[in-house]
Every structure is written in structure tokens, then in C-alpha cells.
């Protein structure tokens, strides 16, 4: 008598579950490799020399007083754009995140249209890259700080709103049930139950997005808005790699400072 080994649901063969996903990924990889033009030169012939010049400039940074003044001013602009953009994004993301979570709507006839509509709006906001938003706002309002701030606030508001809604939905339900049993409405449950429990995770992700906002503010400077990216572009155009490395190190230092600050805030919240 032969024994038959049962296969768990979702793993019944190569064309099911993870096996099917693996085949699709391999097929996508094969198609991508097939579409690459391998007849031309894959590596630029002068690339090694150019890379040597660029990385060698790391040991000859431009630390002159006149250039450091320019770097500090560009750093200030970058931080200002990032702070203003992420501040607007947090306000927008919190409002839309609460709506997208559906925690304030008890009726299913109200809850599902509200959740679906808000999540669709959040998807539109975050599906367009901040650099594209920057180009659109530069065309609309010109090379002004508002273009950079709005270009950060809209997509980051969409990202934060999506994450905030998930965090608010994932908090433990027992304390919320206790609040409801005492007669609290959904607004009070949100203010005194959901938000206090969700705050550490929300702050942690917000600080991460603030790090991303600093990098994005620098990148958006390439469209002509004042900041570190604009100065990097000018130095690259003049092949002043020592200046480029100075600017890059200042940008790295900004990200490290934000990371240190966020770690201190998280430790105080959980202690």
C-alpha cells in the first residue's frame, strides 16, 4: 500500500504560489537580459580614468573659506526645504491617514467609500516622483522655494498617509474596546487610544522620511532651485571634484545628524 503525501494549500506545485512567482520573476529577468543591447561597449573606455580622478579628489577637498560659505548657505537652503516640506507632509498625511484607516466611520456604507477614495488619492500622490512634482511646480510658480516645498509635501504626504493608516489599524484592540465600553466615541478613542499607542511607530517612520526629504531636497536642487544639489551640479560641470566631495560629505553629515536625533527621540519615547 503506497502512502500519499499531502501538499499544503498554496504549495501544490511549481505553478502555484511561490513557484509561480519565482517563474514570473525569472521570466522577467530573462526578458530584461534579452532586451539589452550587448553588441556595443558595456563599459566606457575612459571610465576608469574618470573614476580615478573623481575618487582621488576625495583626498583633496576644497575647504577654502569662500567655498565653505557657499556650502553652508546651500546646506541651510536644503534643510529649510526639507523641514518645510516634511511639516506640510505630516499634516497632510495625518489627516488623510486617519481618513484612509476608516477608524472614525462605524457605518460600512460610509467606511468603504471613504477608505477606497482616500487610498486612491494617496496612491496618486505617491506614484509621481518628487522630482517630477518639482518640474511641474517650477513651470507653474517658477524657481521659488514654494516649488521645492510643495514638490516634497505632496508625494511624502501620500507616503506618510498610507503608512499612518496601516499603523492606526494595527494597534492592539483591547484598550480601544475598554475606551468604548466606558462610553468614549471614535474621536476620543482615536485621541486617547490609537494615537498614543501608534505614536512611536509613526514618529520613527516620520524621521526616516525626514532623512529621505533631505536627500530629495538636494536632488531637486538639480532643477535650478538653490541648495546642495544645485552646487553639486555647478561643481560637476566645472569638473571640480574636490568641491563635489565637500558637498557630498556635508549632505552625508546632515543625514547622520537626523538619524542620531531620531534615535534619541525614540529612546525617550520608549523609556
For 51-96, the pLDDT digits (tens) are 777 777 778 888 888 889 999 998 898 888 889 999 999 999 999 9
pLDDT in tens, 237-268: 888 888 889 988 988 888 888 878 877 877 77
Measured distance CA(120)–CA(229) in Å, rounded: 32
What pLDDT sits at residue 50? 73
Separation of alpha carbons 254 and 72, rounded Å: 11
Half-sphere exposure of 96 (CA within 13 A, CB side): 28
Please report which confidence band the pLDDT of residue 10 belongs to, taking 50, 70 and 90 as the band edges. very low
Phi/psi region, residue 112 (left: phi>0; alpha: psi -120 to 50; beta: rest), is: alpha
Determine the 3-state secondary structure of 180 from DSSP. Answer: helix
Mention every residue, 6+ apart, whose C-beta is less than 8 A from residue 184: 192, 193
Name the strand (E) or helix (H) holding 124: helix 108-127
Q: Is 80 helix (H, G, I), strand (E, B) or coil?
A: helix
Residue 171 backbone phi and psi in degrees, to 5:
-70, 155
Q: 13-51 pLDDT, tens per residue?
A: 555 667 778 888 888 888 887 877 666 665 566 567 777
Taking the C-alpha atoms of residue 131 and residue 189, their distance in angstroms, rounded to an integer, is 38
CB-based burial of residue 247 (10 Å sphere; 0-12 exposed, 13-18 middle, 19+ buried)?
Answer: buried
134-192 per-position pLDDT tens digit: 888 888 877 778 888 898 999 999 999 999 999 998 888 888 888 888 888 888 888 88
Asked if residue 229 lies in contact with residue 221, where contact means CB atoms within 8 angstroms, the answer is yes
Q: Under a CB-based contact definition with an 8 Å cutoff, are residues 227 and 82 in contact?
A: no
Return the C-alpha cell found at 223: 532643477
Element spanning 104, H or E: none
Cβ neighbours for 113, distance < 8 A, ≥ 6 positions apart: none
- Structural contact between residues 100 and 115, judged by C-beta atoms closer than 8 angstroms: yes
Residues in CB range of 175: below 8 A, 6 or more apart: 193, 197
CATH class as words, domain 63-270: mainly alpha
Amino acid at each position: 500500500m503506497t502512502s500519499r503525501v499531502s501538499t499544503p494549500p498554496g504549495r501544490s506545485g511549481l505553478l502555484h504560489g511561490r513557484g509561480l512567482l519565482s517563474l514570473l520573476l525569472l521570466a522577467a529577468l530573462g526578458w530584461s537580459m534579452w532586451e539589452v543591447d550587448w553588441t556595443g561597449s558595456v563599459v566606457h573606455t575612459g571610465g576608469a580614468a574618470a573614476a580615478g580622478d573623481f575618487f582621488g579628489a576625495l583626498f583633496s577637498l576644497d575647504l577654502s573659506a569662500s567655498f565653505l560659505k557657499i556650502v553652508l548657505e546651500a546646506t541651510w537652503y536644503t534643510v529649510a526645504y526639507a523641514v518645510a516640506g516634511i511639516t506640510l507632509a505630516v499634516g497632510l498625511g495625518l489627516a488623510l491617514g486617519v481618513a484612509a484607516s476608516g477608524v472614525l466611520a462605524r457605518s460600512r456604507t460610509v467606511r468603504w467609500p471613504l477608505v477606497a477614495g482616500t487610498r486612491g488619492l494617496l496612491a496618486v500622490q505617491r506614484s509621481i516622483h518628487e522630482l517630477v512634482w518639482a518640474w511641474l511646480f517650477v513651470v507653474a510658480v517658477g524657481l521659488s522655494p514654494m516649488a521645492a516645498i510643495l514638490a516634497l509635501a505632496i508625494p511624502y504626504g501620500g507616503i506618510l498617509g498610507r503608512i499612518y493608516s496601516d499603523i492606526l489599524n494595527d494597534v492592539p484592540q483591547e484598550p480601544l474596546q475598554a475606551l468604548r465600553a466606558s462610553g468614549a466615541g471614535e474621536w476620543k478613542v482615536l485621541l486617547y487610544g490609537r494615537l498614543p499607542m501608534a505614536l512611536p511607530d509613526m514618529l520613527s517612520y516620520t524621521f526616516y522620511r525626514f532623512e529621505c526629504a533631505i536627500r530629495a531636497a538636494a536632488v531637486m536642487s538639480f532643477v535650478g532651485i538653490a541648495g546642495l544639489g544645485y552646487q553639486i551640479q555647478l561643481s560637476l560641470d566645472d569638473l571640480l571634484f574636490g568641491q563635489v566631495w565637500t558637498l557630498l560629505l556635508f549632505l552625508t553629515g546632515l543625514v547622520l545628524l537626523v538619524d542620531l536625533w531620531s534615535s534619541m527621540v525614540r529612546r525617550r519615547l520608549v523609556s
